A and B are shown apart, each in its own frame.
Chain A
Amino acid sequence: EPEVTQTPSHQVTQMGQEVILRCVPISNHLYFYWYRQILGQKVEFLVSFYNNEISEKSEIFDDQFSVERPDGSNFTLKIRSTKLEDSAMYFCASTMNTEAFFGQGTRLTVV
């Protein structure tokens, strides 16, 4: 069964460093998303991406964040200068229309 895959599963980084989280969405899906979940809290929308551009983003998705689909299969989330409060699970999701399928997540720990 096709699935969304994310790498790495766990990333530890020092405050101020740049991180890139990677995702391979389901191959025939058209819409791609990043969500995050701070430990013990609900899943929060960050950004949606369609037709090679951002279609919507939340207040959380500030200038420190960027997304890219560099090669038609990967979908990346970059955080330019990480802060302690960026520590969270980051989930990639993809969909053809409505039913979003999520990856297993990347646990980002900023120290």
Chain B
Amino acid sequence: GQQLNQSPQSMFIQEGEDVSMNCTSSSIFNTWLWYKQDPGEGPVLLIALYKAGELTSNGRLTAQFGITRKDSFLNISASIPSDVGIYFCAGQMSDKLIFGTGTRLQVFP
């Protein structure tokens, strides 16, 4: 089946640092979504990308939809402690979302 690989698997950074994570696939997706999941909670939508090459921001978050439609990256600038969590990319294919393997972010004060 389709597989979305995220890297890095985990990150340990200091508060104030910028963060970059990406997501790659062997399949083409028409839409890329980025979600954040806190422990014991459901995924929360951060950013949605609809067009190849699109660059979209949401506060300190910036995400881009790769030109080949097979990849996407998410940047977080000036990280804060509440950025801690697992970040998932998700590609939409027909009537479902395929989730990536996740990047676990830990922020130290």
Contact = CB atoms under 8 A, between A and B. Distances in A.
B73 interface: no
Nearest to B42: A102
Contact of A43 (B1, B88, B94): B88
Interface of A: 4, 31, 33, 35, 42-45, 48, 50, 55-56, 58-59, 91, 98-105, 107
Contact residues on B (Cβ < 8 Å of other chain), bracket: 20 to 34
A45 B98 contact: yes
B99 interface: yes
A102 B43 contact: yes
B44 to A, nearest CB: 7
B95 A55 contact: yes
Interface string B1-39: 100000000000000000000000000000101010100
B89 to A, nearest CB: 10
B97 A100 contact: yes
B99 A42 contact: yes
A81 to B, nearest CB: 25
29 contacts: A35-B97, A35-B99, A42-B88, A42-B99, A42-B100, A43-B37, A43-B43, A43-B88, A43-B90, A43-B99, A44-B99, A45-B97, A48-B95, A48-B96, A50-B95, A55-B95, A56-B95, A98-B31, A98-B92, A99-B45, A100-B97, A101-B45, A102-B35, A102-B42, A102-B45, A104-B41, A104-B42, A105-B40, A105-B41
B101 interface: yes
